[in-house]
Amino acid sequence: MSEAATAAVAVEGRNLVKAFGQGNAAVRALDDVSVTIAKGEFFTLLGPSGCGKTTLLRLIAGFESPTSGAILLDGRDITALPPNRRPVNTVFQSYALFPHLTVAQNVAFGLQMLGKPKAEVAATVDRMLALVKLEAFAARRTSQLSGGQQQRVALARALAPAPQVLLLDEPLSALDLKLRKEMQTELKRLQTETGITFVFVTHDQEEALTMSDRVAVMSAGQILQTGSPRQIYTRPANRFVASFIGETNFLTARISGGAAHLAGGVIALPAGTADTASATLAIRPEHLRLAPPGTPGALPATVAHSVYFGTDSHLHLRLADGAELVARQQTSADGAAGPEPGTEVGVLIAEGAVQVLQE
């Protein structure tokens, strides 16, 4: 969603701080987080365990109140509203289905609490169960369902009241790989069909990249970068983002005159790159090409070893100054093996592939 910045805002977090505990023992689960989520967007919070993803979601849902900062929904300050008065629903990681109710009663719960008329409740429940393809299970107890089915009930239950925002806390993490892939597609379909703003939490970078309109990468209670999957992958703002998403080579170089100077050579950089005595360059393995040694513009390197993955192999290369680089090479059609360890090669870096990181 490239127009995200100009589209109507669904959720806004302003300078959110959440501290648990008192005094010296206090943990800052969120440390001055500001975030803007557009209407109808599939927005993903991505980050390692303990970085504060769940905490941010719980603040939006209202299960927790921020130590400081404000939460706005559709432009209205909802910081002080209890969860039952926020038009926001949650799909819990553990599903949290009511064990004493049937599937249909679970889905009806939110509508009933909103005081919707009986006929409307019944119609919406039918529609929701059809949406998640569970019509046949309406009268079942939730304990009689498989993990994937429970997950869909949780989804239907949260979607039934037509919330302005749907919060999903690692909803797929309990599923096996195959079901997970299926549900990813399913979720994306539901989001497109309903047009509801999704705030999705995951620590799986692939999931984040494939499903999201925009991703916020979090670490240690802060949002490090927000952007489209493409922006995050190709233009990581810092070393953490670059290494957390996909694989990246890091090189240290001196920058002057619009080029990076390494021990074995010079790499051209985009015009206007500021001079620095020591900068970190990030280069994705798939943007490195091997060339015969001595090719103009190629960095001289030695093959250290290679790891074969089937569709491609990772060549570990050593540069003149001892720095290591990994280059990804597609397996050739004839299946020929790549260069042997010890081979002298040249490394060509695709134009625009180098990202100068701010530390």
CA quadruple 162, 168, 171, 172: dihedral sign: positive
**What minimum distance in Å lies between the beta carbon of 89 and another protein?**
6
Q: Which of 6, 24, 49, 84 binds another protein (CB under 8 A)?
A: 84
Is 26 a binder of ligand ATP (CB under 6 A)? no
CB of 80 or CB of 337, closer to another protein? 80
Is 80 a binder of ligand ATP (CB under 6 A)? no
Start-to-end C-alpha separation, the chain? 28
Nearest to 306 by CA among 327, 276, 288, 286: 327
**What minimum distance in Å lies between the beta carbon of 64 and another protein?**
10
Is 75 a binder of another protein (CB under 8 A)? no
Rounded Cα–Cα distance for residues 218 and 246 (Å):
15
**What minimum distance in Å lies between the beta carbon of 82 and another protein?**
7
Q: What residues between 48 and 87 interact with Mg ion by CB under 5 A?
A: 54
Show the tokens assigned to 96.
């949290």
**What minimum distance in Å lies between the beta carbon of 169 and Mg ion?**
6
Q: Which of 203, 214, 284, 287 binds ligand ATP (CB under 6 A)?
A: 203
Q: Which of 10, 29, 125, 128 binds ligand ATP (CB under 6 A)?
A: 29
Instruction: Name the residue type at position 86.
Output: R
Site string for another protein, 34-73 (x = CB under 8 A): ---------------------------xxx----------
99 binds, among ligand ATP, another protein, Mg ion, none (CB under 5 to 8 A by kind): another protein
**What minimum distance in Å lies between the beta carbon of 56 and another protein?**
16
CB of 92 or CB of 250, closer to Mg ion? 92
Q: Give me the residues that bind another protein (CB under 8 A), please.
A: 61-63, 82-85, 88-90, 92, 94, 96-100, 109-110, 113-114, 157-158, 161
Q: Give me the residues that bind Mg ion (CB under 5 A), please.
A: 54
